[in-house]
Amino acid sequence: MHANNPYALITGGSSGIGLELARLFAMDGHNLILVARNSGGLRKAVAELKEFDVDVILMSADFFGEGTAFNVFAEVKRLSLQVDILVNNAGQGQYGFFKDTDINRELAIINLNISSLVVLTKLFLKDMLIRRSGKILNIAGMVNEPPAPCQAIYCATKAFVESFTQALRKEVTEDGITVTALLPGPTNTDFFNKAGIENVHHLQSKELLADPAIVARCGYDALMRGEGKVLAGCTTEMIADISL
């Protein structure tokens, strides 16, 4: 293990785009802190990453709950780990007309997709600013370009993430910090099942969905090149089709 190598903290790092990003960071020698709700998924992720000679630390955390992001940061501090790269990847949605959907779940999604991301970004950014180095990758989405019916809350949260990311990038561009937004199109992950979209007829063919490994590579390369924003995966026309 290379304990002195920098750590990349990835939320939602046990599967999908998050896990593929973890592979890319590990391949380049970055130690990892993987944060996710599912402890079983985290253990499976470690098994898949053991071929890389890096340290992998697991943190089971539910960002639906208030205060969880503060607790994750406190645990990183307790372990005396230096996070040089923050990847805010965790996110969920809920499919259905806004008039029919569960408001409590929507509030939890807002906490996950927005509040937790903002807290983690602020806390880790302060340390990065002291060192005058660091990278932040926020996963937004093409779904907010244009907004998608039946995903009103999810699309709005991802529009926030993109706007927040671009504003923050301009604030810290002279401070040695890279801030990048990855905007994936519909991708072959468990997102649709969790959001209750798995029965939409366009999703019966996985060929219509982007490969999470390819999406992750686009985001990783953009971050390492210092770019502000990158689109990866399907077109906005495809998103519109899936949304109805």
Q: How much is the CA Rg of the chain, to the nearest whole Å? A: 17
- DSSP secondary structure letters along 129-146: HHHT-EEEEEE--GGGSS
Number of neighbouring beta carbons within 10 Å of residue 65: 14
- In 3D, which of 175, 183, 174, 181 has the Cα closest to residue 227? 181
> E strand or H helix at 34, and its extent?
strand 31-36
Interstrand relation of 83-88 and 229-232 (parallel, antiparallel or unpaired) = unpaired
In the residue annotation, 154 being an active-site residue is answered as yes
CA proximity to 130, closest of 87, 172, 181, 88: 172
Grouping H, G, I as helix, E, B as strand and the rest as coil, residue 9 is strand
Token representation of residue 156: 């709005």
The overall longest dimension of the chain from CA atoms, in Å, is 52
Question: For residues 212 and 103, what is the distance between their CA atoms, to the nearest angstrom?
Answer: 30
What are the tokens at 124? 């880790």
Instruction: Return the active site residues.
Output: 154
